[in-house]
Amino acid sequence: MPTLNDLLKILEQNNKKGTNRVPIFPAFRRHKADYDLILIRLAYDFAEQAHKGQIRKSGESYIEHPLATAITLAQMGLDQDSIIAGLLHDVPEDTSSSLVEIEKNFGPEVAKLVSGITKLGMIKYRGLEKYAENLRRMFVAMAQDIRIILIKMADRLHNLKTLKALPEEKQKRIARESLEIYAPIANRLGMGGVKGELEDLAFPYVYPEKYAWLKKEILPAIELKMEYVKKVIEVIKKELAKENLKVISIHGRAKRLYSLYQKLQKPHYNGDASKIYDLVAIRIIVPTVADCYQTLGLIHRLWKPLPGRIKDYIAQPKPNGYQSLHSTVFCLDGKIVEIQIRTLEMHEQAEYGIAAHWHYKESGRQPKKIGEKGYMLPKKMQWVEDLVNWQKEIHDNKQYLDSLTLDFFHNRIFVFTPKGDVIDLPEEATPVDFAYHVHTWIGNHCAGAKINGQMAGCDDRLKNGDVIEIITEKNKKGPNRDWLKSVKTQAARAKIKSAAAK
Ligand code: MN
């Protein structure tokens, strides 16, 4: 059972560290940690008073829920307003205390966050037709202030942990909503830890039989592999020491059950867990990027890598910011093991994503959000703005959902302009998608493209790392309607249609 002291302890540690985690993207510096513990205590008292006498279905007093939420936020290293909003997030909904009172006591920023969370709380899962609407609201909230989503995630995590006490129908609804709405968003925000936890908590409620099967059939295999991996880790430790390579930590990590379940669904695996090489992976955390490559070299001297399974996500990060080196090797006794190597910063980024580089601007003064007072989204978050803009244009829910599956949840690739600017597009995007992404005029006048210096067609598929140069024709009348068959982005589609309508 968490207590106020647990929360204060974490905040105190954050304060001692001075600044929080080092950012992955150097342009964004973590905020200075200077939590006012007295104010946090007051917020706790305020919430406790407001929820007095309320008992959750699970039997505990209500205050435990907002407290658990605030503790998660403190672990993520979020700022003071977020922690206070976490403590107060259910106050206006459930009690007679009003937002006005919150604003009076804790300021307009906290009040804004709490009201954002309250509005999001009105989203209920009502089947797929409501799904798009729910996503819309999430994105609007996100664009207003990304912290609203982070608090909502922490809130949801605790609700899932106490789901047992609710009636079955409600359990299913909340769990399904977590899988279909919250987890994908956490993933897109790069919060791998939160995504994995949400999924594994929801999994048993949504697919009880599958979960039971997995636990019975696969868990023993995982435990066996864990034992084996322990031996491998000892060998690696010795070898690293011989070469004077520093390690921060080295451990085995079992694949999360829900992601295992999803992988087993794919035709290639067809339910056969012996084909899954990363059931248990070895994770090596080292101080610097140079150490990552040196460590990989050492591993490959010890054990031969499987062809085609070396992945350098440091040079080419995943679209959600994930960085690591992955390699699968023929290890001790010829067994196959996946090794993941990363720095501590990369590790925190992988766990907490956007929250790991929560920041004030470099100057240290209060940053302005584009257009209004508040926080600025890091550049990486441009897609949130894009989504909100599209949803203003697209009124049909079905169409909005289609565009989301195309652009948002689809795997992304990184391609480059001739000047070396990085542009991220959905997989299988074409030069036309690229052209419209750069500028509408360039899209409308696109006559051809060079991919890596070679002439290419407008409907060729782009690959990760391609350098694209668009050839335009000034006198071209407009886009070809044929392009509609091949483009992958909603933006290109809409612009081709609107140019053709003129
Ligand atoms: Mn709540």
Three-class HEC string of 19-53:
ECCCCCCCCCEECECCCCHHHHHHHHHHHHHHCCC
Residues in the chain, total: 502
**Confidence at 360, pLDDT banded by 50, 70, 90:** very low
Cα 394 to averaged position of ligand 1 atoms, centre (Å): 31
Q: Which one is predicted more confidently, 384 or 41? A: 41
Question: Would you kindly state where each structural domain of the chain is located, as residue ranges?
Answer: 4-199, 213-352, 379-501
Cα 363 to averaged position of ligand 1 atoms, centre (Å): 35
What pLDDT, on a 0 to 100 scale, did the predictor assign at position 372? Answer: 33
Q: Are strands 446-451 and 454-456 parallel, antiparallel or unpaired?
A: antiparallel
Q: Dump pLDDT digits (tens) for 147-174.
A: 888 899 999 999 999 999 899 988 998 8
What pLDDT, on a 0 to 100 scale, did the predictor assign at position 371? Answer: 31
Cα 280 to averaged position of ligand 1 atoms, centre (Å): 34
Eight-state DSSP code of residue 122? T
Considering the domain 4-199 in this protein, what is its CATH number?
1.10.3210.10
pLDDT over 90 at 72, yes or no: yes
Eight-state DSSP code of residue 485? G
Cα 65 to averaged position of ligand 1 atoms, centre (Å): 7
Cα 320 to averaged position of ligand 1 atoms, centre (Å): 27
Tell which phi-psi region holds residue 228, choosing left (phi > 0), alpha (psi between -120 and 50) or beta. Answer: alpha
Q: Are strands 280-286 and 336-343 parallel, antiparallel or unpaired?
A: parallel
Q: Which two tokens stand for residue 105?
A: 């006591």
With tokens 């008992």, the residue in question is: 55
Cα 114 to averaged position of ligand 1 atoms, centre (Å): 11
**Confidence at 414, pLDDT banded by 50, 70, 90:** low
What SS3 class is residue 365? coil
Cα 163 to averaged position of ligand 1 atoms, centre (Å): 12
Q: Torsion over CA of 188, 90, 348 and 38, rounded to 10 degrees? A: 150
* Direct distance between the N- and C-terminal alpha carbons of the chain, in angstroms, rounded to an integer: 64
Cα 150 to averaged position of ligand 1 atoms, centre (Å): 12
Provide CB contacts within 8 A for 495, sequence distance 6+. 436, 440, 443, 444, 479
What pLDDT, on a 0 to 100 scale, did the predictor assign at position 326? Answer: 96
What pLDDT, on a 0 to 100 scale, did the predictor assign at position 124? Answer: 57
C-alpha angle 181-91-187 in degrees, rounded to nearest 5: 20
What SS3 class is residue 139? helix
Alpha-carbon gap, residue 109 to 240, rounded angstroms: 49
Percentages (nearest 5) of helix, strand, coil residues in the chain: 55, 15, 30
What pLDDT, on a 0 to 100 scale, did the predictor assign at position 390? Answer: 59
CA distances from 178 to 71, 147, 212, 237 (A): 20, 18, 20, 39
Cα 153 to averaged position of ligand 1 atoms, centre (Å): 10
Q: Which two tokens stand for residue 364?
A: 């240290």
C-alpha angle 75-33-89 in degrees, rounded to nearest 5: 55
3-class secondary structure for 203-219? HHHHCHHHHHHHHHHCH
| Average pLDDT score over residue span 66-95 | 88
pLDDT over 70 at 402, yes or no: no
CA atoms within 13 A on the CB side of 32: 8
Q: Range with the lowest mean pLDDT among 259-263, 418-422, 489-493?
A: 418-422
Strand partners, 29: 360
| Average pLDDT score over residue span 36-51 | 94
With tokens 């976490």, the residue in question is: 86
Alpha-carbon gap, residue 48 to 62, rounded angstroms: 8
Q: By percentage, how much of the chain surpasses pLDDT 90?
A: 44
Specify whether the CB–CB gap between 135 and 404 falls below 8 A: yes
Which of 34, 45, 93, 243 is the catalytic position? 93
pTM of the model: 0.69
**Confidence at 245, pLDDT banded by 50, 70, 90:** very high
**Confidence at 375, pLDDT banded by 50, 70, 90:** very low
Q: Which two tokens stand for residue 268?
A: 């290639």
Neighbours of 401 (CB within 10 A): 18
pLDDT over 80 at 102, yes or no: yes
pLDDT over 60 at 361, yes or no: no
What pLDDT, on a 0 to 100 scale, did the predictor assign at position 465? Answer: 67
What pLDDT, on a 0 to 100 scale, did the predictor assign at position 95? Answer: 63
Residue type, 31: H
Alpha-carbon gap, residue 358 to 23, rounded angstroms: 8
Average pLDDT over all residues of the chain: 82
What pLDDT, on a 0 to 100 scale, did the predictor assign at position 200? Answer: 96
pLDDT over 50 at 27, yes or no: no
pLDDT over 80 at 413, yes or no: no
| Average pLDDT score over residue span 258-270 | 87
**What sign does the dihedral 102-104-108-110 (CA atoms) show?**
negative
Nearest to 488, CA basis, from 448, 465, 461: 461
pLDDT over 50 at 365, yes or no: no
Residue type, 89: H
What pLDDT, on a 0 to 100 scale, did the predictor assign at position 24? Answer: 28
Which of 36, 94, 234, 473 is the catalytic position? 94
What pLDDT, on a 0 to 100 scale, did the predictor assign at position 88? Answer: 96
What SS3 class is residue 368? strand
Alpha-carbon gap, residue 167 to 501, rounded angstroms: 53
Strand partners, 415: 423
Q: Torsion over CA of 224, 227, 228 and 230, rounded to 10 degrees? A: 160
| Average pLDDT score over residue span 387-409 | 59
Q: Range with the lowest mean pLDDT among 375-384, 423-432, 447-456?
A: 375-384
C-alpha angle 354-352-223 in degrees, rounded to nearest 5: 150
Residue 209 is among the residues annotated as catalytic for this protein: no
Cα 94 to averaged position of ligand 1 atoms, centre (Å): 10
What pLDDT, on a 0 to 100 scale, did the predictor assign at position 42? Answer: 96
Cα 30 to averaged position of ligand 1 atoms, centre (Å): 27
Residue 94 is among the residues annotated as catalytic for this protein: yes
Considering the domain 213-352 in this protein, what is its CATH number?
3.30.460.10
| Average pLDDT score over residue span 245-267 | 90
Q: Dump pLDDT digits (tens) for 197-215.
A: 999 999 999 999 999 999 9
CATH superfamily of 379-501: Beta-grasp domain (3.10.20.30)
Q: By percentage, how much of the chain surpasses pLDDT 70?
A: 78
DSSP code string of 143-210: HH-HHHHHHHHHHHHHHHHTGGGS-HHHHHHHHHHIIIIIHHHHHHTT-HHHHHHHHHHHHHHHSHHH
What pLDDT, on a 0 to 100 scale, did the predictor assign at position 199? Answer: 96
**Confidence at 422, pLDDT banded by 50, 70, 90:** low
